């Protein structure tokens, strides 16, 4: 006799899928000092970015076999670590300089939205999904990432200790878990504590941003950082009144995509290396991953199994650095 099993439907929330472009192309991820430098800095940034956009489009078209691939563009503004000016003053400036360079920005995001959006603690949720890769020889003596706020890609240098009879153990180097011939060891700070509150690091928020662009973030089965359409009205004078993610172009393809490409000044290289480390050790929603896999097979679009490999970058010379003799 077969027993009937009854379950509350609310106990197993359905994971809602999201639409996907072929590529999410980020045209900028600048900080307040970049905006503070004036329109010239933005102008130089977009002029440099413009040189790479056509190459990226051609690459996507070749890879997908689609003469008109679905590519959405986005731009991220830092309103998390510092706040400069207002959306009413800054956003039109960004859009104007992008347009002068022949570029269109489909989606505009606030970096603070990668921490909290629509009252959902997104960064906290991703932090709970971190799964450390224990290096060979680990003995569990070091507290987990959830306590320390630090994530590494291998074995850290052991603390110097005295063995029996006062003998000092020799120094040992750190070791990358998946090293090829030689180690490239990284230890990334994910957050710090300030005034009793957690301050998320730039690499961690950037990792959250990548997961959003890849369509892999969910809260109780629902997508988070969902774009809100812009009605063409004036932008607000308060950053908190600007939606975390704004769709500026009503005809844009989907915000999330199978892959991402980010165009950045080369000063962000270390940050984005840290982002890939974080993505490699994040347990992404299994159903969201499955949905992307099934859709990519249906469209015959090749998508790497590793989430970190779905994020690509183009780094260009940093205009803020100045001449080689006097750059910072």
Are the beta carbons of 106 and 247 closer than 8 angstroms?
A: yes
Maximum separation of any 2 CA atoms in the chain, in Å: 83
**pLDDT single digits (tens) 127-156:** 999 998 766 656 556 778 888 899 988 888
Instruction: Give, for 45, the enclosing helix (H) or strand (E).
Output: helix 39-64
| Closest to 245 measured CA to CA, from 58, 90, 102, 112 | 112
- Whole-angstrom distance, CA of residue 9 vs CA of residue 141: 42
* Cα 154 versus chain centre, distance: 22
- Name the stretches of the chain with pLDDT < 50: 1-9, 323-328
0.75 surpassed by pTM:
yes
Where are the domains positioned within the chain? 13-128+198-321, 154-189
Side-chain half-sphere CA neighbours of 156 within 13 A: 14
Total residue count of the chain as it appears in this document: 328
């Amino acid at each position: 006799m077969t027993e009937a099993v009854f379950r509350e439907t609310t106990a197993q929330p359905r994971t809602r899928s999201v639409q996907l472009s072929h590529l999410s192309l980020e045209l900028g991820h600048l900080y307040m000092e970049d905006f503070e430098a004036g329109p010239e800095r933005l102008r130089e940034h977009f002029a440099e970015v413009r040189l790479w956009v056509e190459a990226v489009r051609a690459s996507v078209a070749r890879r997908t076999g689609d003469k008109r691939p679905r590519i959405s563009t986005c731009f991220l503004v830092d309103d998390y670590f510092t706040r400069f000016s207002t959306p009413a003053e800054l956003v039109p400036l960004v859009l104007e300089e992008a347009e002068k360079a022949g570029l269109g920005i489909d989606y505009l995001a606030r970096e603070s939205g990668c921490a909290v959006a629509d009252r959902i603690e997104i960064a906290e949720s991703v932090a709970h999904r971190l799964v450390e890769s224990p290096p060979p020889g680990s003995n569990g003596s070091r507290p987990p990432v959830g306590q320390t706020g630090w994530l590494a890609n291998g074995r850290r240098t052991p603390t110097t200790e005295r063995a029996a009879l006062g003998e000092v153990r020799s120094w040992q180097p750190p070791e990358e878990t998946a090293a090829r011939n030689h180690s490239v060891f990284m230890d990334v700070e994910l957050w710090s504590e300030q005034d009793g509150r957690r301050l998320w690091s730039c690499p961690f928020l950037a990792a959250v941003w990548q997961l959003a662009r890849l369509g892999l973030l969910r809260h109780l089965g629902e997508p988070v950082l969902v774009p809100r359409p812009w009605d063409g009205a004036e932008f607000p004078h308060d950053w908190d009144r600007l939606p975390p993610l704004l769709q500026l172009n009503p005809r844009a393809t989907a915000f999330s995509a199978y892959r991402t490409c980010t165009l950045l000044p080369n000063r962000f290289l270390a940050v984005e290396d840290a982002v890939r480390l974080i993505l490699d050790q994040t347990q992404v929603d299994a159903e969201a991953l499955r949905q992307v896999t099934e859709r990519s097979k249906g469209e015959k679009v090749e998508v790497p199994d590793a989430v970190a490999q779905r994020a690509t970058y183009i780094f260009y010379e940093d205009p803020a650095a100045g001449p080689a003799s006097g750059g910072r």
